[in-house]
Amino acid sequence: MAEFARGFRLTLPDGTQLDGAQFPSGIVVTCHREDGLRAAAISIGNLLDGAEPGDVHILWAPKTEEN
C-alpha cells in the first residue's frame, strides 16, 4: 500500500501555529490558516534549521494503518 503524507502542527516561539504535512519523501510544507503557504523544505531538520531546541513544538497527527 502507498504511503501518505502525515500532518503536524508547528508552534513557533511567538505562539503562531502553522499546519503542516510531511510527505513520504521527507519533504515538508507548512501553511498559516490565514496567510497561506509559509515554507517548504526537504526535511523537518531543514525546516527547523537555526531554531533553538525547545523554541518550537511539533504535534504530530496520530499514525493510522494507512501511514
> Is the pTM higher than 0.85?
no
Tens of pLDDT, residues 11-41: 998 899 999 999 999 999 999 988 888 889 9
Quote the pLDDT of residue 54. 83
Higher local confidence (pLDDT), 67 or 60: 60
- Asked whether residue 66 carries a pLDDT value surpassing 80, the answer given is no
Quote the pLDDT of residue 65. 62
Which of 6, 54, 55, 8 shows the shortest CA–CA distance to 26? 6
Quote the pLDDT of residue 9. 96
